[in-house]
């Protein structure tokens, strides 16, 4: 009996050892799998969101002046800057020239080579960061193809240049033809799309498509979250021209800021 018992001891030890090695190997595989999953998860977190198609609102832009395309996570907007509506700033002889005797015109008129502008915006605006103030020059592109400016002119208030604004709240000087006020050529107390700003957020007229009335929940930038005519029932953050007469202009400021989407 003792001899048989002694013969079985090595066999049991061998089985226990083999089981222990297998356990270690399985545990190691499990750890490796967890590490691989963690790395993959981190890679997913760090990677940029892939946008495969343009927002539907870009279809409303004047295709004769504006070219819009995706470049990775950004939207590139290239424009001639030349609007598709009448204004005194086309200059006499142009088919879109409109005589506006009450406008103290700046010396410049529009041409094919001094209004071209290109901006790049996030295809998906970052609404989790800090707000950023607007600066001089182009702060967005309107659906007409021309630039949108803020409430400043030449480093001062807009009041000093208000007399040079045409019937649709725009003028030339300095540089490109641009809107400071509600662009009545394509939005006049309505819900129409005005354009897109440098933070990738769209700007609409004074009314909201979701209610057909003036929104009452706008933030400091004139923005809120609701459906629009371009979101297919989905809610989206966007700006509105604020329904308050701006200073002595008798009209409504297009956008002053700050940006919310950087």
Residue 244's Cα: distance from chain center in Å?
A: 24
Does 133 lie in the same domain as 11? Answer: no
The continuous run of DSSP H or E covering 5 comes out as helix 2-46
CA distances, 151 to each of 5, 43, 145, 242 (Å): 98, 42, 19, 13
Does 191 lie in the same domain as 150? Answer: yes
Strand partners, 171: 178
245 part of a folded domain: no
Does 60 lie in the same domain as 36? Answer: no
Domain holding 198, by residue range, is: 56-240
Does 161 lie in the same domain as 71? Answer: yes
172 part of a folded domain: yes
Q: Return per-residue pLDDT of the chain as tens, 262 residues.
A: 433 433 344 444 444 344 444 444 444 444 455 544 444 444 444 455 677 899 999 999 999 999 999 999 999 999 999 999 999 999 999 999 999 999 999 888 888 668 999 999 999 999 987 899 999 899 999 999 999 999 998 778 888 889 999 999 999 987 899 999 999 999 999 999 999 999 999 999 999 999 999 999 999 999 999 999 999 999 999 999 999 999 888 999 999 999 999 8
77 part of a folded domain: yes
Q: Which of 239, 202, 225, 42 is nearest to 122 (CA)?
A: 202
Domain count, the chain: 2
pTM: predicted TM-score of the whole model, two decimal places = 0.81
The DSSP secondary structure of 72-117, one letter per residue, reads TTEEEEEE----SS-BGGG-TTSTTB---TTS---S----SSS--E
Does 101 lie in the same domain as 161? Answer: yes
262 part of a folded domain: no
Does 132 lie in the same domain as 6? Answer: no
CA distances, 207 to each of 61, 65, 90, 141, 186 (Å): 19, 26, 30, 20, 13
- Are the CB atoms for 65 and 82 separated by under 8 Å? yes
Does 62 lie in the same domain as 19? Answer: no
Does 99 lie in the same domain as 187? Answer: yes
Does 172 lie in the same domain as 42? Answer: no
CA distances, 149 to each of 30, 188, 199, 202, 253 (Å): 58, 18, 14, 14, 10
232 part of a folded domain: yes
- Report how far residue 238's alpha carbon sits from residue 106's, in angstroms, rounded to the nearest whole number: 33
Does 42 lie in the same domain as 73? Answer: no
Does 63 lie in the same domain as 43? Answer: no
Does 124 lie in the same domain as 23? Answer: no
Rg of the chain taking only CA atoms, in angstroms: 30
The CA angle 73-144-182, to the nearest 5 degrees, is 105
């Amino acid at each position: 009996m003792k001899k048989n018992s002694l013969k079985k001891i090595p066999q049991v030890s061998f089985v226990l050892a083999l089981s222990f090695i297998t356990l270690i190997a399985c545990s190691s595989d499990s750890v490796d799998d967890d590490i691989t999953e963690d790395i993959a998860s981190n890679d997913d977190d760090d990677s940029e969101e892939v946008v495969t198609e343009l927002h539907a609102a870009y279809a409303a832009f004047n295709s004769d002046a504006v070219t819009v395309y995706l470049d990775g996570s950004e939207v590139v907007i290239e424009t001639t800057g030349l609007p598709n509506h009448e204004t005194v700033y086309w200059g006499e002889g142009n088919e879109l020239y409109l005589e506006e005797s009450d406008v103290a015109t700046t010396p410049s008129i529009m041409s094919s080579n001094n209004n071209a502008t290109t901006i790049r915006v996030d295809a998906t605006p970052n609404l989790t960061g800090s707000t950023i103030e607007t600066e001089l020059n182009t702060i967005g592109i309107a659906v007409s193809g021309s630039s949108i400016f803020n409430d400043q002119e030449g480093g001062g208030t807009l009041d000093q240049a208000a007399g040079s604004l045409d019937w649709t709240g725009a003028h030339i000087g300095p540089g490109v033809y641009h809107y400071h006020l509600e662009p009545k050529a394509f939005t006049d107390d309505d819900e129409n799309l005005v354009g897109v700003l440098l933070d990738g957020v769209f700007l609409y007229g004074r009314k909201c498509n979701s209610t057909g009335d003036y929104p009452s929940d706008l933030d400091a930038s004139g923005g809120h979250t609701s459906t629009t005519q371009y979101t297919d029932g989905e809610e989206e953050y966007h700006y509105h021209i604020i329904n308050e007469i701006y200073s002595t202009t008798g009209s409504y400021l297009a956008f002053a800021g700050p940006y919310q989407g950087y």
